[in-house]
Chains A and B, each alone.
Chain A
Amino acid sequence: AQSVTQLGSHVSVSEGALVLLRCNYSSSVPPYLFWYVQYPNQGLQLLLKYTSAATLVKGINGFEAEFKKSETSFHLTKPSAHMSDAAEYFCAVSGRSRGSTLGRLYFGRGTQLTVWP
Chain B
Amino acid sequence: NAGVTQTPKFQVLKTGQSMTLQCAQDMNHNSMYWYRQDPGMGLRLIYYSASEGTTDKGEVPNGYNVSRLNKREFSLRLESAAPSQTSVYFCASSGPAPMNTEAFFGQGTRLTVV
CB contacts (< 8 Å) of A46 on chain B: these are 102
Binary per-residue interface labels of chain A (60-101) against chain B in the complex, 1 for a CB within 8 Å, 0 otherwise: 000000000000000000000000000000101011111111
Interface residues of B in 23-80 (CB under 8 A from A): 31-33, 40-45, 48, 50, 58
- Within the assembled complex, what's the spacing in Å between the Cα atoms of A51 and B105? 19
Say if the beta carbon of A42 comes within 8 Å of chain B: yes
Q: How far is the CB of B76 from chain A (nearest CB, A)?
A: 15
Q: Does A102 contact B102, Cβ atoms closer than 8 Å?
A: yes
- A102 pairs with B94, CB closer than 8 A: yes
Q: Is the CB of B44 within 8 A of A102?
A: no
- Please state if B43 and A90 are interface contacts (CB–CB under 8 Å): yes
Taking chain A's interface residues, is the majority helix, strand, or loop, or is none over half, making it mixed? loop
Is B84's beta carbon under 8 Å from chain A? no
Tell me, yes or no, whether A34 is within 8 Å of chain B by CB: yes
Given contacts A42-B107, A90-B42, A107-B42, contact A99 B48 (CB under 8 A): no
Contact residues in B for A94 (Cβ distance below 8 Å):
103
Measured CA separation A92–B92 after assembly (Å): 14
B48 touches A102 (CB 8 A): no
Q: In the assembled complex, which residues on chain A have CB atoms less than 8 Å from the CB atom of B92?
A: 103, 105
B positions within 8 Å CB-CB of A: 31-33, 40-45, 48, 50, 58, 90, 92-98, 100-103, 105-108
The 7 A-B residue pairs with the shortest CB-CB distance, nearest first, are A103-B103, A103-B94, A107-B42, A102-B94, A43-B107, A109-B42, A107-B43
Q: Which of A's residues lie within 8 Å of B, judged by CB? A: 9, 32, 34, 36, 42-44, 46, 49, 51, 90, 92, 94-105, 107-110
